[in-house]
Amino acid sequence: MFEAVEVIRNVVFPTSVSEEALLAPIDSYKMWDKYGGATAAWQLLLEVKAEVSGEKSYCCRLCPKPRRPAYKYSHDSICHFKRDHFGFAVSGIYW
């Protein structure tokens, strides 16, 4: 968890907390390499889990371990980050 907090402060939101910063591409080869080929800032906040079947799942590194949501596709976690961690959610007409 501490490492995730440092990534948020120093890499994802170095100057201000915004949706643009969360979705921004990664410019550092070092970060890309360390986080398994992550290409956007939000991907640094995911933990990749290998399933027995050989498939991957993606878990939020900011949530407590017993309650970490898992996603089949990494991009599905963007809504979780916006809604549950950073307050960027927009309510829809049908919700």
pLDDT at 31: 83
Task: Give the domain extent around 71.
Answer: 2-85
pLDDT digits (tens, 9 = 90+) for 6-65: 888 888 898 888 999 999 998 888 888 888 888 999 999 999 888 778 888 999 999 998
pLDDT at 30: 85
Q: Is residue 92 part of a domain?
A: no
Q: Is residue 95 part of a domain?
A: no
The encoded tokens of residue 5 equal: 């907090």
Question: What are the backbone dihedrals phi and psi of residue 25, each rounded to the nearest 5 degrees, phi first?
Answer: -70, 155
Q: Kindly report the pTM of this predicted structure.
A: 0.79
Structural domain count of the chain: 1
The closest of 61, 6, 1, 19 to 36, measured between CA atoms, is: 61
pLDDT at 49: 87
| CA dist., res. 52 & res. 76, Å (int) | 21
Q: Is the pLDDT of residue 92 over 80?
A: no
Stretch (H or E) spanning 29: helix 29-34
